[in-house]
C-alpha cells in the first residue's frame, strides 16, 4: 500500500512548539501517521531524537527543517526533507540563520516596552526550549500570560506583524542558499504554505521560477493554514511548475494549533507525493 498519511511539517520545543520530539512522535503515531518529519525552524538539533522516536512508535521517518528566507521583501519558509542531519555546510548555514534571532528579540522587546509592555524579552525567554531559537511565538505566549491578549492570534495581529510595535524587520537566508544547503545535503526543498505570503501574481511566479532554478522540487499543498480551495489552487501550481506535492499539519501545540498531526485530507491522487522523490532517504 502506498503511503497516504504522511505529516511532514511540525514543531517541537527545539524551536517554537510546546512538545518534545518524543511526545510529538507518540501523538503522530496515535493519529495514524505512517511517515513523519519534525521540521523545527532553522534548526536540526532534534533530528536524531525524532528519528529514534519515530522508530519506537512504528512510523517511517524523513529528516526535516523549516528554513526562514527573505524573498522580495517578505519572509518565506522553505522546508527541507530527507537531508543528512550531520552535513557540515547545512549545519553552518542554519547556525548563521539562527544568529540574528537574539538581537532581533531584544529589539522586539524595546518596541513592546514603548507601548507599556515591560520585560518582554525575559518573559519570552521563559517559554524558550532552545536559547538559540527565540521566536515571535515565544513573545506571543508571554503576552497571553500577562493578559495583554486573549490568544496568540490576537498578539500577532496587534503586536507582532509588520507595522506593529513588536515587529522588527529582519533579513533571513537567501532562497538560493536555503535550497542549496538542503539539496547538497542530499535532501529535497519544498516551498512551505504558499498561500500565506502576500505576493502579487508576478512575485509568486518569480518565487516558484527561481525556486525551480535553484533546484527546488516540491510545494506544500495540503497544510494547516490552507483552505480546501487553496489545496486545489496549489495542486494546480505544483503541476504547472512540475513540482511534487507535500502534506503537513504545521502542528505547534495542542493549545494553539487548530490542525492536529495526521488529520488533514490526503493529497489528490493526481499529484506526485514529495516522499516518492525520497524513497531512498526514508528511515
Residue 152: name its binding partner from ligand AMP, Mn ion, none (Cβ under 5 to 8 Å by kind): ligand AMP
Cα dihedral sign for 147, 148, 149, 151?
negative
Which span sits near Mn ion by CB under 5 A: 12-20, 86-94, 164-172, 209-217?
Answer: 12-20
Phi, psi (5° rounding) for residue 267?
-65, 145
Which residue, 94, 96, 111, is CA-closest to 169? Answer: 111
Residues 120-139 that bind ligand AMP (CB under 6 A): 135-137
* Residue 68 touches which member of ligand AMP, Mn ion, none, C-beta under 5-8 Å by kind: ligand AMP
Which CB atom, from 64 or from 235, has the smaller least distance to ligand AMP?
64
Q: How far is the CB of 3 from Mn ion (least distance, A)?
A: 21
Closest CB to Mn ion among residues 7, 66: 66
Residue closest to Mn ion when measured from CB atoms: 77
Cell digits of residue 191: 516551498
Interface mask toward Mn ion for 42-71; x: CB under 5 A? ------------------------x-----
Complete edge-to-edge strand list for the sheet that includes strand 60-61? 6-7, 35-36, 60-61
Q: Which candidate, 248, 78, 271, places its Cα nearest to that of 178?
A: 78
Rounded distance, CA 142 to CA 118, Å? 11
Q: Which of 65, 68, 87, 237 binds ligand AMP (CB under 6 A)?
A: 68
- Largest interatomic CA distance in the chain: 58
> Which residue in 7, 42, 71, 77 binds Mn ion (CB under 5 A)?
77
Residue closest to ligand AMP, measured at CB: 135
Q: Looking only at residues 155 through 184 of this chain, which bind ligand AMP when binding is defined by CB under 6 A?
A: 156
d(CA 196, CA 139): 21
Q: Which member of 9, 27, 41, 226 binds ligand AMP (CB under 6 A)?
A: 41
> Pick from 114, 115, 107: which is nearest to 124 by CA?
107
| Angle separating helix axes 47-56 and 21-30, nearest 10 degrees | 40
Which of 22-30, 44-52, 248-256, 275-283 is the region at the interface with Mn ion (rule: CB under 5 A)?
Answer: 248-256
Residues within the interface to ligand AMP (CB under 6 A): 16, 41, 68, 135-137, 152-153, 156, 252
Amino acid at each position: 500500500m502506498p503511503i497516504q498519511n504522511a505529516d511532514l511539517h511540525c514543531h517541537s520545543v527545539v524551536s517554537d512548539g510546546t512538545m518534545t520530539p518524543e511526545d510529538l512522535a507518540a501523538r503522530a503515531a496515535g493519529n495514524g501517521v505512517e511517515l513523519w518529519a519534525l521540521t523545527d525552524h532553522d534548526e536540526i538539533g532534534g533530528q536524531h531524537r525524532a528519528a529514534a522516536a519515530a522508530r519506537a512508535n512504528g512510523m517511517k521517518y524523513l529528516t526535516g527543517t523549516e528554513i526562514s528566507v527573505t524573498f522580495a521583501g517578505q519572509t518565506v519558509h522553505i522546508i527541507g526533507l530527507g537531508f543528512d542531519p550531520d552535513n557540515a555546510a547545512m549545519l553552518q548555514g542554519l547556525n548563521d540563520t539562527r544568529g540574528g534571532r537574539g538581537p532581533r528579540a531584544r529589539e522586539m522587546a524595546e518596541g513592546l516596552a514603548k507601548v507599556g509592555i515591560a520585560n518582554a524579552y525575559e518573559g519570552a525567554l521563559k517559554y524558550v526550549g532552545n536559547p538559540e531559537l527565540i521566536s515571535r511565538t515565544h513573545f506571543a505566549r508571554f503576552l497571553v500570560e500577562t493578559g495583554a491578549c486573549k490568544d496568540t492570534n490576537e498578539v500577532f495581529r496587534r503586536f507582532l506583524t509588520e507595522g506593529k510595535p513588536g515587529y522588527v524587520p529582519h533579513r533571513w537566508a537567501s532562497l538560493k542558499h536555503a535550497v542549496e544547503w538542503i539539496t547538497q545535503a542530499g535532501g529535497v526543498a519544498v516551498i512551505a504554505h504558499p498561500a500565506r505570503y502576500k505576493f502579487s501574481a508576478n512575485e509568486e511566479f518569480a518565487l516558484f521560477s527561481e525556486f525551480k532554478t535553484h533546484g527546488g522540487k516540491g510545494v506544500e499543498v495540503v497544510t494547516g493554514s490552507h483552505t480546501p480551495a487553496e489545496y486545489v489552487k496549489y495542486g494546480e501550481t505544483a503541476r504547472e511548475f512540475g513540482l511534487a506535492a507535500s502534506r503537513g499539519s504545521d502542528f505547534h501545540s495542542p493549545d494553539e494549533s487548530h490542525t492536529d498531526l495526521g488529520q488533514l485530507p490526503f493529497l489528490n491522487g493526481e499529484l506526485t507525493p514529495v516522499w516518492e522523490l525520497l524513497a531512498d532517504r526514508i528511515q
